[in-house]
Amino acid sequence: MSYIRPKGWANSLNAGAYPVCPGTPGIFDVQVRLTEDGLKNYPEIVKILFPYIALLHNSCMKEKWYGTEYRHDKIPDDLMQECKKAFAVSPQDRLPTLHLPHKNQFIPNEPEVEKQEMDEQALNPRVPRANVIVSLKTPLFYASAENNVKARLFLDLVRDALEMYSYDAELAGLQYKVSLDSRGLFLDVTGYNDKLPVLLDQIFTTMRDLDIKKYRLRLRGAGSGAFECHLEGIRLFQKQMLGQVFIEVYVHGNMYKEDALKATDMVASILKPRVLPKAQ
């Protein structure tokens, strides 16, 4: 702009990478708002653009704002050959773990609003969505600092194990949050109510059946013996914390009372906890 604007050829310039459509490479796009004189001299403007791109290419490869250094390297020939061989591999020799996306089990089949009386003052529109909050009350989480750490590690492992399901759920309009509160474990599931119970079932089944792997758990500064002790401690804590809880379920949105009772029964049937004493 410092060259073409004083000539009266342009009023503004914008440049950047723009996506064409999902799955395709982006395009570096330069847009120049021309004056009438600029329109007459557009070939000169185009010719000026390319020397400036070359100047950027040959300048110091250091990011402007934070000074982060970077570089452009040619992909090694041997790696390119390996990539070509991998692309040409037959279906029989392809890794069995590679496959097209499976059917998303969380996509609603009946996204309908249940029949209900509407308040004229209602601020929210009628949408086929709901919230289900599950509270697992137990004093075990805060019985000691060690128990609290184990509970937090366990929830981190649960979130990690649910990654493959939560991605599909999020694409279908479902989200969940699991955390600790002053009473125990707190779970909030929200989204389209039709498949909300499916996600709820998957979350508690994962909690119950979670196989805690060594490679998913890292303890800073712990030797092998201490590591095994902590690992077994979390596995034992998993059984203890889910084995005796008081279940409360709160439902809000496009669901009936019967749906709330079904959700409560489903959680209870998955965990099968012992009754928590009234004193607790």
Tens digits of residue pLDDT in 174-225: 999 999 998 899 999 999 999 999 999 999 999 999 887 765 566 544 444 4
Q: Which amino acid is at 121?
A: Q
pLDDT at 225: 46
Q: Residue 176 has what pLDDT?
A: 96
Residues 142 and 245 in one domain: yes
Residue 162: both structure tokens together? 């649910």
pTM beyond 0.85: no
CA distances from 36 to 9, 11, 62, 168 (A): 7, 11, 38, 52
Q: Which residue in 110, 147, 172 sits closest to 237, CA to CA?
A: 147
Structural element, H or E, at residue 156 = helix 145-161
What kind and span of H or E run contains 12? strand 10-18
pLDDT for position 122: 45
Same domain, 145 and 76: no
At 78 the pLDDT is: 94
Same domain, 236 and 143: yes
Q: How far apart are CA 198 and CA 202, in angstroms?
A: 6
Residue 262 counted as domain residue: yes
Domain extent at residue 199? 129-271
122 or 203, which is more confident?
203
CB of 29 within 8 A of CB of 16? yes
Give yes or no: residues 133 and 255 share one domain.
yes
Asked if 170 contacts 106 with a C-beta cutoff of 8 angstroms, the reply is no
Asked if residue 110 is part of any domain, the answer here is: no
Residue 104 lies in a domain: no
CA-CA-CA-CA torsion sign (234, 237, 239, 242): negative
Pair 158, 233 in one domain: yes
Q: Please check whether residue 85 lies inside any domain of the structure.
A: yes
How far CA 79 is from CA of 71, 72, 76, 88, 91, in Å, comes to 18, 16, 5, 14, 21
Instruction: Give residue-wise pLDDT tens across range 125-170.
Output: 577 889 999 999 988 888 888 888 888 888 988 998 898 899 899 9
Q: Are residues 230 and 162 in the same domain?
A: yes
Residue 233 lies in a domain: yes
Kindly state the average pLDDT of the residues 236-264.
Answer: 88
Mean pLDDT across the chain, nearest whole number? 83
Could you report the per-residue pLDDT of 46-99, keeping only the tens digit for each? 888 888 888 777 766 776 778 787 777 788 999 999 999 989 989 888 888 787
